[in-house]
Amino acid sequence: TLQNGVGVLFGDPIKHSFSPFLHQTVLDALGQGWKFSLLESRDIDAFLEILRDPRCYGLIHLHVMLLAD
């Protein structure tokens, strides 16, 4: 199992999302030391930096939400 993984909900607008809270609750219950957070941004470079981080535990847990204006 992956220890100290990082999960991110990335996009804009997402500040209303309960996803980070729900995911973190499950991750805490599993006791793996993973962290799930929210990054409200449209900065694709920031997204790619997160994606390349070896602690990122996969696209299945890296959510992207970009809504058209």
Q: For 28-69, write each residue's pLDDT tens digit.
A: 898 878 888 888 888 889 888 877 877 776 544 445 555 555
Q: For 3-33, write each residue's pLDDT tens digit.
A: 667 777 878 888 888 888 888 898 889 887 8
Nearest Cα residue to 51 out of 40, 41, 42, 63: 63
pLDDT for 69 equals 52
- Put simply, whether the predicted model's pTM sits higher than 0.85 gets the answer no
Encoded tokens for 64? 């992207």
- The contacts of residue 25 (CB under 8 Å, 6+ apart) are none
pLDDT for 13 equals 82
pLDDT for 47 equals 81
